[in-house]
Each structure stands twice: as C-alpha cells, then as structure tokens.
A and B are shown apart, each in its own frame.
Chain A
Amino acid sequence: MAMNEIEILKATPHLAREHWWGWEIPVYLFLGGLAAGIMILTSVRVLRDPEGERSETFRLLSWLAPLVLSIGMFALWLDLERRWDVPRFYLAFRPKAPMSWGAWILLAVYPLVALFALGELRGRWRDRLAPRLRAVADWADAPAIKRRLAWGNAAVGTLLGIYTGVLLSAMSARPLWSSAVLGPLFLTSGGSTAAALMLLFRVDERERRGLSKLDLGLICMEVALLGLFFLNLMTGSDTSQRAGGLLLGGPYTASFFGLVVFGGLAVPLFGEAREMRGHNGSRWFLPLLILIGGLALRWILVAAGQASSWNAL
C-alpha cells in the first residue's frame, strides 16, 4: 500500500508538490492533542491522589476535553471531500489502517470522558443535573468506578495523543513525517499544551504549582524528542536529509525556530524554571506562548511535510 503511494508520487511529480491539507488538519491535530492531554492530566490527578481535595475549577476542566475535541473534529470534518460518508468509517475496522484506528478511538473518547467528567461534578453542579444523569454521576463518583474510569480515560487519551502523530507518520510518501518519533512528540506536546491551557484557569495555588512542574518536565521531554526527530532525519537517507533541511536552513526554518523552538519551548522553559525558584512572572503570557508553539508545531510540520517528497526538491 505504502509502496504504491511512493510509486504513484514518483511517477507523478506534480502530485508530490500538491498541498492537500490546509488549516483544518493542523487545527484538528492541535485540538486533538490538547484534548488528549487534558484527559490524561485530569485522570492522573485522580489516580495519584484519589482522596485528595480538588478545586471546583479543576473538576470542571474535565469537560474541556470533549469540548475542545468536538471543535477539532469539526475542523477535521470540514477537510473531508465526502463529508456525508463519515458513518462508513464505523461499518468496518481495519487494524492496518491508521484512519480506521483514529475513527474508532475518537468514538471511544466521548462515552469515557463524559462518564469521568460527570463523576467530577460536585455540589451545585451535580444538583443541577436531571435525576437520571445525577444517578449516573453518583455511580461514576464511587471510588472503585472512578479509578477504573480514570484509567480508561488516561489510556484512551494516550492513544488519542499518539494517534495524532501516527496519522502523519503513516504517510510514508512524505519523508519529513516518516518518523516513529512523531507519535510520542505529539503526545508530549499535547500534554504540555493541556497543562498550559489549564494554567489559564483559576485553579488553586497547589494545583497551579503542580501543573507548572509537570509542564516543565513535559517541555524538557518535548525538546529531547524534537532533537531525536532531527537526528533521525539528518542521519538518514539523502531524501530524509533534504526533508529535514526544510526546517534546518530551508524555507520553514524561521517560522519553526521562532514560534516552536524559541517561543513555544525555550522561553516558557526558562520562565517556568524561574517561577519554580520563586520569581514572579506573568500568569497568562507563558501558557499562551506554549499554546501558540503547540499549534505552530503541527501547522509547520503539516505544511513542510507536504513540501517534502521523494523527488528531488
């Protein structure tokens, strides 16, 4: 299948230059990663400290995941050529097709995240629910069930986060994306953008410190994975090196290093490390930079990937 794709693109160089994907796919990848990160972070908090007190804001943040994912899926749907054929995805499961995996993962996210988030509603929020939903929320809030839901939520969130990267790396016709690092890279980036988004809300001071610390670790991991991604490209074949060159000296260098490496990783890393040591900084500026960097990472990789091909550039 993959070889066919390469053969077709080699035989039709004009097709290899085509940019099929516009803004919709990067936006979907960003929001999908963001939702995955929120699912993982809210679940891990429950698993680490089941009896711990969580602020009302933190509990409500569980609802951000389905909201963000729905906006992302709308963008994905806009990109489809035959939009009304979507139900056909769910008439089969093809284990070798990333698209099929993605369709089913996206379907599994909603019931799980909804049950988990319902269980997180307490006090006045739960009182407002219809009686049947309140009964479901009571059931989902029972310790044993909550733990299972959190595990499921974290697992599906991880799959979703990795899948956003695998979706690109499955396209072997594009040498820039032909890297196993993309899955973990997008998962880590999803986690760090999720922590940044959560920091924009009024969580309590202890939660704020926890999220900042986690964000710091995730950004460090992201830097290491980006390093591996480039190492992999620049020590690969001539084609891989040409594809990597698009970001290292080529037309996408300034935008990638300006928005992703410097703005989205280096400055937030430096700023959050200083905040850890007790220096005051802006409460919204660094998280905003991380979010912009996360979106730019996907946007630029999608654009540059489509500019890379197995033909001489």
Chain B
Amino acid sequence: MNDRRSESLQDPRREGAPLWNPYVAGVALGLVLLASFVVMGQGLGASGGIARILVTLLAPLMPEAIASNANFRNLLAEGNPLLHFLVFLGLGVLLGGYVGAMTGGRIRIQLERGPRMGRRGRIAYALIGGLVMGFAARLALGCTSGQALSGGATLAAGSWVFMMCVFAGGYAVAWFVRRQWI
C-alpha cells in the first residue's frame, strides 16, 4: 500500500475526539437559527455573504459588469456590502469550525476525502459542486441555508418542498459520486 493510499485511508474520526452526533448538531444549529432571529431579526444564509465579498472585490476591477447586474448593483447601492450580518456569519462559521477542531484535537490543514479519492479529484469535485451550487443560489437569490433553514423555520410551504427536493436530489445523485467517500 503506497503512502498516499494509507494516508487517505485514515479515518478522521479515529483521530482526536469523536465527531459530534449529527442529530445533536442539528438541534444546536436550530438553536443558532433561533438566536439569529431573536438577536438580528433575520435567519441564516451562506451565499449572500460570499456574494457580498465577491462584489466588493470585483467592483473596482470590473465596474461595468457589476453595474449591469441588478442583484450586484443593489448590494452596492446599500453602501459597503461587507458591513452585513451574513458576511460576519460566514466569518463566525470559520471560527466555529476552528473551535470545533480545537475541542476535537484535530487542528491541522487537511483535505477530507474518502479512501479511493486522490487530492486533485477531490478538489475538482468540490469545485464543480461549489460552482453549480453558487450559480444556482444566485439564480434563486438565496441558498440552502436561507431557503431550507431560515424559510423552513418560518414554516413556509415552499421551503419544506425545497428541503424534500434537496434530500431526494442528494440521494439520487449520491450513487454517481459515491467513489469520493467509500
């Protein structure tokens, strides 16, 4: 067995403390969502913060392209796009991840991947998935966190339909990309 293979066969759960129980993590995420509504008056979202960072970076480089897009134009019209709850929420996610890694004794730079997946392949899959997800999120003016979590919490029918479709789509596609993880 070569080094790369043996390294990739290491299960992250065997190092440091065990990972969180997903059901406990789900309840905790729900409480974070509740706190977000109570303190900030709005729910969670991920792609909004990324879009704001992107607009801030691209506005000086390609002002015409940004101005021609109504969505980006609106973000700039509000003033500094970075001074928004969603940007700091994204920062908090990164810091929360660091705290989680600290408590789990897993602080090091690593690429999470399955035993049969090389580094490049994993990065390529992640990039393709991210591009599709990001494009779709901007197309729909929101992402899974905004629609499923924040919308679902307000019991919006459309959000629940969307969430079921997400699970159905996830299960349907999982078989084709299973080599990443098993």
Task: Name A residues whose Cβ lies closer than 8 Å to a Cβ of B.
Answer: 249, 251, 253-255, 257-259, 262-263, 267, 270-271, 274, 279-282, 285, 289
Contacts and interface: CB of A to CB of B under 8 A. Distances in A.
Contact of B105 (A271, A279, A289): A279
Contacts of A282: 107
B42 to A, nearest CB: 10
Given A270-B99, A270-B102, A281-B102, A263 B39 contact: no
25 contacts: A249-B40, A249-B41, A251-B83, A253-B39, A253-B40, A253-B85, A254-B83, A254-B84, A254-B85, A257-B88, A258-B88, A258-B89, A259-B88, A262-B92, A262-B95, A263-B91, A267-B95, A270-B99, A270-B102, A271-B99, A274-B102, A279-B102, A281-B107, A285-B98, A289-B95
A298 to B, nearest CB: 16
Interface residues of B, number: 17
B147 to A, nearest CB: 21
Nearest to B82: A255
Given A254-B40, A255-B88, A258-B92, A267 B99 contact: yes
A258 B92 CA distance: 6
9 A-B pairs with least C-beta separation = A258-B88, A254-B88, A254-B85, A258-B91, A267-B95, A263-B95, A258-B92, A255-B88, A271-B102
Contacts of B95: 262-263, 267, 289
A280 B83 CA distance: 34
| B41, B88, B91 — most chain A CB neighbours (10 Å) | B88
Interface in B1-40: 39-40
Nearest to A258: B88
Nearest to B108: A282
A32 to B, nearest CB: 25
A253 B39 CA distance: 9
Contacts of A281: 102, 107
A66 B84 CA distance: 36
Contacts of A263: 91-92, 95
Nearest to B38: A249
B40 to A, nearest CB: 7
A255 to B, nearest CB: 6
Nearest to B105: A279
A258 B95 CA distance: 9
A126 to B, nearest CB: 40
Contacts of B83: 251, 254-255
Contact of B91 (A249, A259, A285): A259
Contacts of A254: 40, 83-85, 87-89
Contacts of A274: 102
Nearest to B84: A254
A281 B107 CA distance: 7
A282 B84 CA distance: 29
Contacts of A249: 39-41
A280 B98 contact: no
Interface in B99-137: 99, 102, 105, 107
B146 to A, nearest CB: 16
A263 B87 CA distance: 14
Contacts of A270: 99, 102
Nearest to A267: B95
A263 B89 CA distance: 11
Contacts of A285: 98
Nearest to B83: A255
A249 to B, nearest CB: 7
B88 A267 contact: no
A119 B122 CA distance: 57
Contacts of B91: 258-259, 263
A276 to B, nearest CB: 13
Contacts of A267: 95, 98-99
B18 to A, nearest CB: 16
A270 B96 CA distance: 12
A285 B83 CA distance: 23
A233 B40 CA distance: 19
A165 B40 CA distance: 28
A265 B89 CA distance: 16
Given A253-B39, A254-B40, A258-B88, 12 more contacts: A253-B40, A253-B85, A254-B85, A254-B87, A254-B89, A255-B83, A255-B88, A263-B91, A267-B98, A271-B99, A279-B102, A280-B107
